[in-house]
Amino acid sequence: MRTLQKIDYSSETEQLAKFAKALGHPVRLVILKHLSTQSCCYTGDLVEILPLAQSTISQHLKELKDAGLIQGEVNPPKIRYCIDKENWDKAKHMFAELFKEDFNKISCC
Amino acid sequence: MRTLQKIDYSSETEQLAKFAKALGHPVRLVILKHLSTQSCCYTGDLVEILPLAQSTISQHLKELKDAGLIQGEVNPPKIRYCIDKENWDKAKHMFAELFKEDFNKISCC
DNA sequence: ATAGTTAATCGCAAATATACGATTAATATT
DNA sequence: AATATTAATCGTATATTTGCGATTAACTAT
């Protein structure tokens, strides 16, 4: 009995939720952190870092890619992943916007 | 055959993933946005704003509360919700930290 | 052509998330 | 005491996520 009504949120909200969801798993955060320290790009020998099956890691990479946070560049037979700068920036700004309110000024609670 | 290995991430990573996960649903973003505009606290007549069952909204509120992003104050027979300033701030900083790298400097890709 | 390497994808199992209506709990009002 | 109001919780159905091994696809090197 799921989803009787199809709610439509602003595309803003939809987009931010998508980013947040992609960031909502520790493995994916580790991957992103790795990508950011590893001067830039990197390929899937995350398999050596993480105690997970290759297929599982591939799936997480796919999710990050679908969310637009990373991009893969074929470099046969490997694939180089790197942060998708444009969307990363977008996410950065959207989160900054979300958190911009300073609730210290507010009276109650 | 799930989770053969119990991976332990840094508590940092674990915490950020938890925040992100809580933010990873449009309904919860709408709730937070509402809480932030509504001078401060607010009660569950989100039910009137969102086309969702009361129980569903209650569940989303619980998730936000479990993540530490909001807090509820009993005010019988209502409950006033508001942003949990301390954790909100924590989340704000953690996301800022995550996004601080500026990938424009980086060569490849 | 054959074998090797890398990574995506498929099929499956189990866990978790999302939504609902119904019920319950807590309190206020009559 | 009886009723009304508000919101949590329970039970349930379905969808999605997470993980795995096995297979496939794409390309290299022999």
**Under 8 Å between Cβ of B29 and A12:** no
Residue of B nearest to A27 (CA): B9
Per the structure, the residue whose CA is closest to nucleotide D27 at C1' is: A77
- Delineate the domains of chain A, giving CATH numbers in brackets: 23-94 (1.10.10.10)
CA closest to C1' of C4 belongs to A77
> d(Cα A30, Cα A10) in Å, to the nearest integer?
30
The strand pair at A70-75 and A78-83 is best described as: antiparallel
- Tell me how far apart the alpha carbons of residues B55 and B67 are, in angstroms, rounded to a whole number: 18
As a whole number of Å, the CA-based R_g of chain B is 17
Return the pLDDT at B20: 98
DSSP assigned state of B104: T
Question: What would the mean pLDDT of A51-74 be, rounded to a whole number?
Answer: 95
For B2-25, write each residue's pLDDT tens digit: 444 578 889 999 999 999 999 999
Query: Omega of the bond prior to A77 within 30 degrees of 0, cis?
Result: yes
**Residue A107 pLDDT grade (very low, low, confident, very high; cuts 50, 70, 90):** very low
Give me the CA A61–C1' C8 separation in Å, rounded. 11
Question: Rounded mean pLDDT of A57-82?
Answer: 91
Which tokens hold the place of A83? 């942060």
Which of B16, B41, B96 is nearest residue A109 as measured by Cβ atoms?
A: B41
